[in-house]
Structure 1
């Protein structure tokens, strides 16, 4: 047991701890330690989320989801010093999930559409959105057939894991793994395209 876990610490004392100490303490169940990690990394994660989704409310929500995921999976982090990079990886995956999931078209009458359109949308934001959507579609197009079918079934067709299990004649655990692998491959494809 290290010094951070022996007795409750004040916020000032928590601020003096290293990231690795805070992670180890959070892995031992110390919520205050995770709260300090949240305070240290929140601003950077929100800013990165904003670059990914380009909407303030959506970025805040995405950042909250990232920290919830991190809190639930903190025990999976094997290198406590890598907490910041691990958070960014979670954000990257979750941003891809959101972008891919929100691609479906919504049918509505013109009056409703006009009433709900944001007045501050600019041609530049439309172009950026189209560019991101094209990058995702292009990335999916370069994946192997299984990855493509898995992502399309889940994100575009809205199938549940159980429905996919039936359709692909594979256990739900296999479907989850396929989704995880396909998302990682898609992220790499998009990163490669953006680097060019």
Structure 2
């Protein structure tokens, strides 16, 4: 075994022992020990939270919530060496819960806002709509009574094909033919 490998193994062993001591102290209620745990794992928790949520402010809030929950439940951690994975699991679960409960984000982008605004009718829009309605009435007046009634029932009153079949005493296929569907 080389000296570099020996030193690395000793550092790993010391870090594991140190972590176990920190977790044991935190489980006994030592707030300073838990503060050290926060310092060591805050970056990892923040990274997972940001990756899951995609928002810096929301991730920062989640980090606080994760460590609050971890502080309350640290006594449930049976294997101190699993602290990192345990914190990651808490973070992922809390992020998923937050995503499920999150309200939809309302965009304030001008293009999105423009799409949500109801357009007010201008006098020109009103005149064009009136002209279209007049053309439809003229077209309907040129049709026979049966075709006109069929179109009005379907397009104006919104009746289904089955309802029209009963009302006109005709098979659905005949109604479809009249509508050119």
TM-score (norm: length of structure 1): 0.45
Higher relative contact order, structure no. (Cα contacts within 8 Å, ≥ 6 residues apart):
1
